Chains A and B, each alone.
Chain A
């Protein structure tokens, strides 16, 4: 247990010591998205009966939770692998379960801190209600955990920074940007609506948004089921890779 707590604490300090870069910067990015898109579309667009700026905020919050959770575990692992300092974690008697839990939990904390930061920063620009906070909290936690676990896989798999960048730019970024952060999928043509249903991030954003407005594109129970199933699959895969020492223990 002390090994797990220490690894979690180390991972937390790793991003907290550079929080200007790891927390403040993503908050500013989200704020810029909100200011630009809100300014252009707020007068013209309503979604689910909600003004566009208000509609946009939960999507931006969730997008930053997911992207930062992924960035934390993946960047920590690839840095440790490339510099060789991963050996300090591999030599001690830390189980693969503790390794997984510590990296995922620390990444979730970073994602959630950024999410809260975005939420607080955008309160000045958008009217928000939180009609079902438990739903919002559940989706933020599960989404953060799922992307943190994906980050562990990406960090272990990547041997160079550009491999990680490819994972980030060609998988994570499209999945989040095309998930309904900026729009309701009901505004899409039927074909793309169908495609969106194969994107697990859509369910995270939609379920999270339900927590704020009490309306969503699909029932929150369905979204929860999809997200839990995805988290279970990715976690089991990650644990299996760690147990086998894949790309960590030759």
Chain B
């Protein structure tokens, strides 16, 4: 069976700094996978490489069996990415933003699905509001919506709940869990370890461009009986 994401010996340097030092990782279809690590561990570089925003020095990355360089069209069609930065195009309102993003993925007349996403992310009342006029939390929801417009089988969420209030966070996770239940593969990076513990079936812990632990959440926790994921994380990082 083809892995949803296959990462094989990926190396990336920025000048003399090694951002990724030969990362290999397979994520199966339907997994809710956590990618954790301290700042500078290489999580965003790895995600950016998967999304084609960064070109690795060596190694291969595949999304649903499609190489992100040689078969980039299919790889990108199968991937939805919620970027970490709160970015938006100030010229458009929410609905226009989502229609444009659909069009980029070759989809016209996508309003039924757009309406569904808006409803699930509690954005229906903001559909015709310009992006500039939204709060930070609202903008974050639109970023999530943009990643979902083309119904990608693999969804990457790069710290999606940073700066988001508790109520929205709950609503967002409910929606993402539903998508996961429908078969979408979810890859999550977050600094909220309790979220990762509650949501992810399997995790990779990264440090200085390397995967230092890769296992199911249950097995990682079992290694330190009685410890929280935060304690497991800290101890694992100290050991390496």
Contact B88 A85 (CB under 8 A): yes
Choose the segment among B1-9, B32-40, B98-106, B193-201 that binds chain A (4+ C-beta atoms closer than 8 Å). Answer: B98-106
Contact A88 B53 (CB under 8 A): no
Contact of A95 among B73, B91, B100, B105 (CB under 8 A): B73
C-alpha spacing A72/B79, complex, angstroms: 30
A14 partner residues in chain B, CB cutoff 8 A: 91
B14 partner residues in chain A, CB cutoff 8 A: 250
Chain A positions 82 through 96: 1 when the CB is less than 8 Å from some CB of chain B, otherwise 0: 011101111111110
Contact B77 A93 (CB under 8 A): yes
Contact B72 A93 (CB under 8 A): yes
How close is B214's CB to chain A, nearest CB, in angstroms?
26
Contact B87 A85 (CB under 8 A): yes
A83 partner residues in chain B, CB cutoff 8 A: 87-90
A10 partner residues in chain B, CB cutoff 8 A: 92, 100, 103
B119 within 8 A of A: no
Contact of A87 among B53, B73, B90, B107 (CB under 8 A): B53
Question: What's the interface size class on B, roughly?
Answer: 20 to 34
A7 within 8 A of B: yes
Given contacts A3-B103, A7-B104, A90-B52, contact A13 B85 (CB under 8 A): no
Chain B: CB-nearest residue to A245: B55
How close is A65's CB to chain B, nearest CB, in angstroms?
23
A2 within 8 A of B: yes
A44 within 8 A of B: no
Contact A91 B73 (CB under 8 A): no
* Number of residues on chain A facing chain B (CB within 8 A): 27
A6 within 8 A of B: yes
Contact A249 B103 (CB under 8 A): no
B74 within 8 A of A: yes
Chain A: CB-nearest residue to B78: A93
C-alpha spacing A114/B72, complex, angstroms: 38
B30 partner residues in chain A, CB cutoff 8 A: none
Contact of A13 among B48, B54, B83, B91 (CB under 8 A): B91
Given contacts A93-B76, A93-B77, contact A249 B54 (CB under 8 A): yes
B146 within 8 A of A: yes
Contact A88 B52 (CB under 8 A): no
C-alpha spacing A13/B150, complex, angstroms: 22
Contact A3 B104 (CB under 8 A): yes
Contact A91 B76 (CB under 8 A): yes
B79 partner residues in chain A, CB cutoff 8 A: 91
How close is B139's CB to chain A, nearest CB, in angstroms?
11
Contact A6 B81 (CB under 8 A): no
B235 partner residues in chain A, CB cutoff 8 A: none
B108 within 8 A of A: yes
Contact B91 A17 (CB under 8 A): yes
Closest 3 CB pairs of A and B: A6-B103, A84-B87, A92-B104
Q: Enumerate 20 A-B pairs (CB-CB under 8 Å) in ascending A order.
A: A2-B106, A3-B103, A6-B102, A6-B104, A7-B104, A14-B91, A83-B88, A84-B83, A85-B88, A87-B83, A88-B146, A91-B51, A92-B76, A93-B73, A95-B73, A245-B55, A249-B53, A249-B54, A249-B55, A250-B53
